[in-house]
Amino acid sequence: MTPDQQRQASDLLWDSWRHGRKLAALTGGMRPESRADGYAIQSMLELRSAKPLFGWKIAATSTAGQTHIGVDGPLAGRLLAERAHLSGENLSVAGNEMLGAEPEFAFRMGRDLAPRARPYTVSEVLDAVACLHPAIEVPDSRFQDFVHAGAAQLIADNACAHEFVLGPVTRADWRAIDLVEHTVSADVAGKTRREGNGGNVLGDPRQALTWLANELSQLSLTLHTGQVITTGTCMTPLVIAAGDRVVADFGALGRVSISFGRDGARLG
């Protein structure tokens, strides 16, 4: 793809995201055929934000999730500051067709991890982490049929990033906790209750975080101090609708919640 074709694809995806419109596909010269093209298009979405990048998300960190969208591994996406919210806020589901809430382990970086030829180890990445937060991601895609869009288009589509909710910093000694076996319970008030654990996140949320650091390194991108990385859902996504309130309880690691306006409009 040429830079102009990448820019045209990014323009179309950004317009669709802003206005809640869905695309059948990126066509002609705008369609990425490789992960590299997908990430090049995605990088231009970041330029639309008026604020520094809030952080990163990882999609498809479970085998079930990868099978569902027809990819063979995780995908990285950007968390834009305008789409990041604090626990307890009120959001809209207007235009969101995925209609799912995903409880996730999120890490905030305490120092930079710059690109390098040698892959980062889990211990090296964890040494660079400042803190852990419970979080909820509310994803969506700009494609009508995201299940069959393919990895390159989904990466261009920011790995289905949409809204992100960050809970309070964990006060517990999370480094001493086995995150693989750590149970997370979540419910959509009065409708659904579900449990999951860190083992559903690429086998271990810390391993998912390390994957992200190395994915960015291969793209010659720095994982910056202060950025938040949300590592993928630890359970089957919770189905949401206007009027719902979602609460995710991470036990000793804290709680995080989000509500959705009944009229489909943002309440905040």
What is the reported pLDDT for 263?
56
Q: Is the pLDDT of residue 264 over 50?
A: no
**Is residue 255, in this structure, part of any structural domain at all?**
yes
pLDDT score recorded for residue 261: 87
User: What gap in Å lies between CA 42 and CA 26, rounded to an integer?
Assistant: 13
Q: How many domains does the chain have?
A: 1
262 — pLDDT class (breaks 50, 70, 90): low
Residue 148 in this model has a pLDDT that exceeds 60: yes
**CATH code at 126?**
3.90.850.10
Confirm whether 41 is domain-assigned. Answer: no
Taking the C-alpha atoms of residue 180 and residue 175, their distance in angstroms, rounded to an integer, is 12
Q: Given a cut of 50, is residue 121 above it in pLDDT?
A: yes
Strands (E), the chain: 55-59, 75-79, 84-86, 90-91, 100-109, 129-138, 163-166, 183-188, 192-197, 228-233, 238-239, 245-249, 255-260
| SS3 label, residue 120 | coil
Residue 170 forms part of a structural domain: yes
Q: Please determine, for residue 100, whether its predicted confidence score (pLDDT) is greater than 50.
A: yes
**pLDDT at residue number 189:** 87
> Is residue 154 in some structural domain?
yes
Residue 198 predicted with pLDDT over 60: yes
Question: What's the average model confidence in pLDDT over 117-139?
Answer: 98
Output the pTM of the full model: 0.95
- 129 within domain boundaries: yes
Closest CA to 240 of 219, 257, 223, 218: 257
Rounded CA gap, 80 and 159, in Å? 12
Is 34 a member of any domain? no
Label residue 128 exposed, middle or buried (CB < 10 Å: 0-12, 13-18, 19+).
Answer: middle
DSSP labels for 210-258? HHHHHHHHHTT--B-TT-EEEEEESSSPEE--TT-EEEEE-GGG-EEEE
Split at pLDDT 50, 70, 90, the class of 267 is very low
Domain that holds residue 207: 52-260
Q: Which three-class secondary structure state does DSSP give residue 117?
A: coil
Band of pLDDT at residue 103, cut at 50, 70 and 90: very high
Q: How confident is the model at residue 43 (pLDDT cuts 50, 70, 90)?
A: very high
45, part of any domain? no
Average pLDDT of the chain to the nearest whole number:
95
DSSP for residue 265: S
| 218-236 confidence digits (pLDDT tens) | 999 999 999 999 999 999 9
pLDDT of amino acid 180: 98
pLDDT one-digit tens code per residue, 87-99 = 999 999 999 999 9
* 171 found inside a domain: yes
**Token digits of residue 244:** 């719902």
| pLDDT of residue 268 exceeding 50 | no
Write out the two tokens for 15: 């317009």
What pLDDT score was predicted for residue 266? 41
61 and 208 Cβ atoms separated by less than 8 Å: yes
